[in-house]
Chains A and B, each alone.
Chain A
Amino acid sequence: MDIIVAQSLLEPNAGLIVYKVIVFALLLFLLRRFAWKPIVSALGEREETIDTSIRKAERALEEARKTGEKNEEARRAAEENARRVMQEARAAAERVRTEELEKTRARIRQMQEQAQAEIEREKQRALEELRDEVAGLAIRTAEHILEETLDTDRQRKLVDRFIQQLPRN
């Protein structure tokens, strides 16, 4: 009995082989038809989808990068522009301010000068007047003196010296 059992361990069983051929052929057919075909095709489809998605994403990324670069450039240009405009405006303002200041200062100086000149003129005139007055006064004084001493020449010199001695103003 033991020997029969032991032999069956290594002895091919024809009946079992017949069954197994049928079972495995059936298994192969069933799995191929109902499992592997849909699954493998789905896997292929998915891989294709992933592949195209990746390619699409790469393309989109490239485009985005390009757009970004373009945007950056535009932004930089705009900034540059703005800075330039601002600088120009600032310079113009500065210029205007300096000009105004200069103008004002000039006018002030002019006015000052005018006033000075006026004052000078007034002073001159006043001096003239004063001198005339003093001269007249002196002459009248001299007349008075002359009426008394007739030595006009001496008297004149005297008066001149007196006038010289007077302070200028």
Chain B
Amino acid sequence: MRALNTNIRCRLVVLLLLAGCACLAPCLAYAADEEGELDAVAHTADGVYLDFAPFGAVELPRIFLRKDPWGVDVFSSTRSALLSERYVIEHEEDGHAEVLHGEALHAAIEHHEHLYAKPQPVLGSMVLDLSVTRHLVFGLLAALITVAVFVTLAQRYRRHEDRVSAPRGLFQNMFEGLIVFVRDEIARPCIGPKYEQFTPFLLTAFTFILCCNLMGLVPYAGAATSNISITFTLAAFSFVVGQRRGTRAYWRHMFWAPGIPLPVKCLLAPIELVSLIAKHFALAVRLFANMMSGSLLILSLIGIIFTINMLFGSLTATFVAPLGIAFTLFISFIKIAVAFIHAFVFTLLSAIFFGMAVEEHHEDETHAEEQPALAG
């Protein structure tokens, strides 16, 4: 009886979703008429604005570090930076670039072209573009959410009786489950007995990446991890945290592997170094590529409707739209799984690299003799 009930409910939900897709389709087709095109790449890439279409966009503050003369310029938005006449953008046409001024500048701002151009200072040259970008905002938001959730969770363990009693409620059970999962399924088996010094990093990385990934599914938000700079930073942190704790035996095996003839040793050391860096590079690119391809895929699937609208007219698009939206829905479900899996994979691989770094190698005879001399 109960199973039957659930079955019916499931079918109802699917039907409702399909009906929703069907209802949404004409709207989208109509929107396609209005907008003309949907730029998947621009939505996936970083930008200096928050897009709240159809309610418009919010420009983010721009901060520039310049030299000759040295200085930091802060503007509330790209528009104000350009209108202050201290920064200019160039418009490239037919191979030669021209600096936009006056009317042309206003026209460019009108068409939001200024958001995609790289402003250059009139005085001196740019050292670092420290502008607040969309992915930074999402990353900060994810960091704030993570801190809020887990510091709130930590409050639950203040009293002694709460520390030893079973977790209560959905909130505590859910997040404690995550923590225990990272500690018992990732840190402990991959690192070994020294896992405790790495759990803070692994937990932070896991929760932050998970939060970022899940934010990629939130409307108007995006995954900060779909930005290569951010995943590079995460991988660099993983690299630093792991290699800082590397044992002597680990470095020794990397640069002066025992029991191998000297020429091979010289050959092996750079290979090992490159592979070490490549492993962490792969860590960054894997996360970035998965997250980026997810949002790119969803936007491209939606974009198919618009393309068909342009190519075959709005009637065809109306019929294609439910299909496209249903598939988007499917991909969105997959993205939920991918969000968890890639947070897990990043943490797991980090833990494996840590485990390699702190592993105590079983020294052979000649080694054991050398060891005290080295230590002394």
Contacts and interface: CB of A to CB of B under 8 A. Distances in A.
Contacts of A25: 237
B204 A36 contact: yes
A26 to B, nearest CB: 8
A20 B44 CA distance: 18
Interface stretch (A2-10, A81-89, A137-145): A2-10
B276 interface: no
Contact of B179 (A10, A16, A17, A39): A39
A66 B118 CA distance: 83
A15 to B, nearest CB: 4
B139 interface: yes
A145 B128 CA distance: 190
A27 B208 contact: yes
A87 to B, nearest CB: 57
A35 B116 contact: no
B129 A42 contact: no
A37 to B, nearest CB: 8
A39 B117 contact: no
A53 to B, nearest CB: 9
A39 B41 contact: no
A9 B44 contact: yes
B179 A27 contact: no
Interface residues of B, number: 56
B163 A31 contact: no
A168 B272 CA distance: 149
A161 B314 CA distance: 169
Contacts of A8: 45-47
B232 A5 contact: no
Interface stretch (A43-51, A106-114, A118-126): A43-51
A23 B140 contact: yes
A166 interface: no
Nearest to A6: B41
A87 B153 CA distance: 72
Contacts of A50: 164
A22 to B, nearest CB: 10
B200 interface: yes
B130 A19 contact: yes
Contacts of A6: 41, 45
B234 A24 contact: yes
Per DSSP, chain B at the interface is: helix
A50 B199 CA distance: 22
Given A16-B133, A31-B146, A45-B164, A24 B229 contact: no
Contacts of B199: 36, 40
Interface string B136-167: 10011001001100110110011000111100
Contacts of A40: 179, 183, 199, 203
A12 B232 contact: yes
Interface string B41-65: 1101111000000000000000100
B233 A43 contact: no
Nearest to A53: B164
Contacts of B73: none
Range of interface residues on A (Cβ < 8 Å): 35 or more
B335 interface: no
Contacts of B45: 5-6, 8-9
Given A1-B113, A27-B147, A28-B200, A16 B230 contact: yes
B131 A15 contact: yes
B342 interface: no
A25 B180 CA distance: 23
A142 B208 CA distance: 160
B128 A15 contact: yes
Nearest to A17: B229
Contact of B233 (A5, A17, A26): A17
A5 B136 contact: no
B22 to A, nearest CB: 33
A47 to B, nearest CB: 9
Contact of B147 (A19, A31, A46): A31
Nearest to A45: B163
B180 A43 contact: yes
B128 A14 contact: yes
A92 B155 CA distance: 79
Nearest to B232: A12
Given A38-B154, A39-B153, 4 more contacts: A9-B45, A32-B204, A35-B154, A40-B203
Interface of A: 1-2, 4-6, 8-21, 23-28, 30-32, 34-40, 42-43, 45-46, 49-50
CB-CB nearest 10 A-B residue pairs: A42-B157, A35-B150, A20-B233, A32-B200, A49-B164, A42-B163, A16-B229, A15-B130, A9-B45, A38-B154
26 contacts: A1-B113, A1-B116, A5-B42, A5-B45, A5-B47, A9-B41, A9-B228, A13-B129, A16-B133, A18-B130, A20-B229, A20-B233, A21-B236, A24-B204, A27-B143, A27-B147, A27-B204, A28-B204, A35-B150, A36-B200, A36-B204, A38-B154, A39-B179, A42-B162, A43-B183, A46-B165
